[in-house]
Amino acid sequence: MVKLFSGLFILLLAAGCTESINVNLDNSYIRLVVDGGITNDSLQRTVILSKSASYFYNQPPPMVSHAIVTLTDGSFLDTLREQLPGKPGYYMLDSTFRGVIGKTYSLDVKLSEVIGNSAEYTSTCKIMKVARLDSVQAEFNPDIGKDGHWLVKIFAQEPGDEMNFYMLKYYRNGLLISDSIQKWSTSDDKYFNGSYIRGLTAFYINNSHKWETLHPGDTLLVQMSGITKEYYDFIQQVQQAGYQIPFFSGPPANVEGNVSEGGVGFFAAYSNSYAKLVIPAK
């Protein structure tokens, strides 16, 4: 009886200490999300505007339509046109636009409604120079992982004279395989500033991932981009947080972009260099 009483006492004590806790997830603070940018070629000239959503929002992010979006470098002004009716929230420059290395571009957004605390937002970014890719090399290593890995290496002359930051993506047979920010590679030039980049491994591609891996006869195209330190830091933070771009839900507060007035995301401006290779037999 003593043991039974003691057990009941402990059970009642635990029940008495149990308290219902309500977690208040703020769904009211909606922010403007900016994604996209421009390059010194025709690869990128689109900016996507959307709204952040709550953590449990299980739909695509709400798009922001009917905004006035302009771009300037101080000497010209161009208007991005929304791709209606097919792509609301997608704003694009004319196909003839090319950014200029060394210039700083400002994106101005005027909304048809207030989002957050403002109806006007700005972002600025400078187009940095990029190391010119000479060639790429792909080696298959069967000893890495269960099914082996492809190692994609780059060769290029680094321009030097300042700290440079790079972003790398790869295409297979014309299709972008690095199609999310989690698949991009980034690097600074701390260890090769001004030197020749001789066989730096840019990608480790798991051969088990059949939708990403390389096959003999494939055409591999590597894109190397010169980016600002701010964009480099932004990519690093988003990758560490495990988020995708565009943001599926509200991004963590410590991811710092370049959008004013409390907006999130990044308007990026960067330069590109390319090299390609036909994948040899293993």
Q: Are 141 and 220 members of one domain?
A: yes
Does some domain include residue 56?
yes
Beta bridge partners, 226, equal: 166, 271
Q: Are 207 and 138 members of one domain?
A: yes
For tokens 């894109």, name the residue: 223
Does some domain include residue 22?
no
Domain assignment of residue 42, given as a range? 32-128+244-268
Residue 231 vs residues 105, 148, 186, 254: alpha-carbon distances, Å: 14, 32, 10, 14
pTM for this structure? Answer: 0.85
Does some domain include residue 234?
no
238, 144, 240, 221: which is closest to 178 by C-alpha?
221
Q: Are 162 and 99 members of one domain?
A: no
Beta bridge partners, 265, equal: 34
Residue 15 vs residues 19, 49, 142: alpha-carbon distances, Å: 9, 50, 57
Residue 156, C-beta contacts closer than 8 angstroms, at least 6 positions apart: 131, 132, 133, 134, 196, 197, 224, 273, 275
Q: Are 259 and 182 members of one domain?
A: no
Q: Are 144 and 200 members of one domain?
A: yes
Q: Are 97 and 138 members of one domain?
A: no
Beta bridge partners, 150, equal: 140, 205
Instruction: For Cα atoms 55, 60, 63, give the angle at the middle one, nearest 5 degrees.
Output: 105
Does some domain include residue 238?
no
Residue 241: per-residue pLDDT: 80
How many domains would you assign to the chain?
2
Does some domain include residue 20?
no
Q: Are 147 and 223 members of one domain?
A: yes
Residue 152, C-beta contacts closer than 8 angstroms, at least 6 positions apart: 136, 137, 138, 170, 201, 202, 203, 205, 220, 222
Q: Are 47 and 117 members of one domain?
A: yes
Residue 25: per-residue pLDDT: 38
CB 115 within 8 A of CB 63: no
52, 53, 87, 82: which is closest to 67 by C-alpha?
82
Query: For the domain that residue 206 is a member of, what is the CATH number?
Result: 2.60.40
Does some domain include residue 25?
no
Residue 30: per-residue pLDDT: 87
Does some domain include residue 144?
yes
Q: Are 261 and 219 members of one domain?
A: no
Q: Are 156 and 95 members of one domain?
A: no
C-alpha 246, offset from chain centre: 8
Sign of CA dihedral 96, 99, 100, 104: positive
Long-range contacts of 74-83 (CB under 8 A, 24+ apart): 74/104, 74/106, 80/46, 80/47
270, 187, 183, 168: which is closest to 228 by C-alpha?
270
pLDDT tens, the chain, 282 aa long:
444 334 433 333 344 443 333 333 344 578 999 999 999 998 899 999 999 876 555 677 899 999 999 999 999 999 999 999 999 999 999 999 999 999 999 999 999 999 999 999 999 999 999 999 999 999 999 999 899 999 999 999 998 878 999 999 999 999 999 999 999 999 999 988 889 999 999 999 999 999 999 999 999 999 999 999 999 999 999 998 876 555 544 555 568 899 999 999 999 999 999 999 999 876
Does some domain include residue 80?
yes
Q: Are 52 and 102 members of one domain?
A: yes
Q: Are 58 and 122 members of one domain?
A: yes
